[in-house]
A and B are shown apart, each in its own frame.
Chain A
């Protein structure tokens, strides 16, 4: 699915979804009616930064600064946005 994630887009967690750290799984999860997904570290770091104000560009910049050694991080981040939007875990705010 083409989602055309733009740097100026602002996303937030979809309504009725909850994002939380799960100690027993050692990972972040997204919970929603009838389901859940476990996110690996990188994906969790993306969702964690969605406060309803940060743009995609803000998230990319912040993650680049936090993980300066990560290769091709921008592509992974955009990929995560695309997946999360196509799965309806996120809603577009602006």
Chain B
């Protein structure tokens, strides 16, 4: 799954809408986990090179939460105000209890979203989801060409995805497509948008790869040129003008090429809560890379303690933790210094400014990464796919291929 798809746009839109003073409240409550992301399994039939899941995910494929534990987590989070539920993974459909989770979500009043590759979605299951009250399904698509789809996912799933898209539409679901953008498909933006329109998509997210997990390992192989991103954005804007409100298109700008860092997760522990396959409770997808933090687990003290009282969730709330140049920066409220995980992975200092910021003393690390991605010799290194075998090698320490430069295992 893509990191950008799971919350940034939601949160941005909410905040954006909140800024309108016409009928929309100005008082956002910053202390409720409005979004609960349930990463119900790390098992996945696809092997995407850009997956944000931890490279050592294999450690957590045998100790997944039970159906009862998930249902309890849903209940606890709902009591605290959670309302948007993402059911993700890995591939959530590899579990056979998603139907039960969907029914409970409906009962509790969640707006629920199944985030899937489409593999394992059958007529029987989609019917059960519809009856159970699932609100929408977000399908990942990879390219208009079978070749690129099959290459980047390391599977033969191209025809299947088109079938699943039709199935989603036939069942009256809004069609939400998520397309992760990288070097191999960025030249096909227009064709990808045309395909989305032909499939009857209501929402399309063009999520430029952000570099965490497997995508950080494959950074030099995936990163497009700045000029390609600018061109992709231009084409997207043109397409938007053409289709209007019929198909909403989100273009998630990659932070490596932005001027300012992203306000990651709209702030640490502000609106977003993730429960991972093994029950860890996280304020962001990759928080476990950070040093010296013990993340709570739902098997221990429960979600309310995790959100309100755990040292982990309080660690980067507010801005007391900030160092210069963030501390005295006039922009600090806009971006909260960027992403803690990116800061640590790249610089070794979790409290420093996100290196993507041009004011960061570590900004050269980003410039260097962009230069490396243009180096034909580095480009030519093979992609390391997200497979159980590769994950086992990282988890056991048998391999540190292309992760030596980072301060934690991505």
Task: Let me know if B170 is at the binding interface, CB within 8 A.
Answer: no
DSSP class of B's interface residues: helix, strand, loop or mixed? mixed
* Stretch in contact with the other chain, from A52-60, A64-72, A82-90: A82-90
Chain A residues in 8 Å Cβ range of B67? none
For chain A residues 6-30, which have a beta carbon within 8 Å of chain B?
A: 15-16, 18, 20, 22, 24-25, 27, 29
Whether A46 and B10, one on each chain, are in contact in the complex, defined by CB atoms closer than 8 angstroms, is no
Q: Given the interface contacts A22-B81, A33-B174, does A38 sit within 8 Å of B202 by beta carbon?
A: no
| Inter-chain contact B13/A35, CB cutoff 8 Å | yes
Shortest distance from the beta carbon of B273 to any chain A beta carbon, whole Å: 14
| Size bin of chain A's contact surface | 20 to 34
- A33 and B83 CA atoms in complex are apart in Å by 12
Given contacts A24-B80, A31-B83, A31-B84, contact A37 B135 (CB under 8 A): no
What's the A-B contact tally at a CB cutoff of 8 Å? 89
The answer for the CA separation of A85 and B176 in the assembled complex, in Å, is 21
Residue A36 contacts which of B10, B202, B205, B248 (CB distance < 8 angstroms)? B10
Q: Chain A interface mostly helix, strand, loop or mixed?
A: mixed
Asked whether any CB of chain B lies closer than 8 Å to the CB of A2, the reply is no
Residue of A whose beta carbon sits closest to that of B8: A34
B28, B83, B202 pick with most chain A CB within 10 angstroms: B83
Partner of B9, one of A18, A34, A84: A34
B105-130 interface bits toward A, Cβ cutoff 8 Å, 1 = contact, 0 = none? 00001010100000000000000000
Bitwise, B245-285 to A at CB < 8 A (1) or not (0) is: 10010100000000000000000000000000000000000
- With a cutoff of 8 Å between Cβ atoms, the chain A residues found around residue B109 in the complex are 20
Chain-A contact segment, one of B18-26, B94-102, B218-226, B330-338: B18-26
Tell me if A18 and B111 are in contact (CB < 8 A): yes
Q: Is the CB of A18 within 8 A of B135?
A: yes
| Least CB distance, A53 to chain B, in whole angstroms | 22
9 cross-chain CB contacts under 8 A: A31-B111, A31-B135, A34-B9, A35-B9, A35-B13, A36-B10, A37-B13, A76-B23, A80-B23
Q: Could you tell me which A residues sit within 8 Å of B by CB distance? A: 15-16, 18, 20, 22, 24-25, 27, 29, 31-40, 42-43, 46, 76, 79-80, 82-84, 87-88
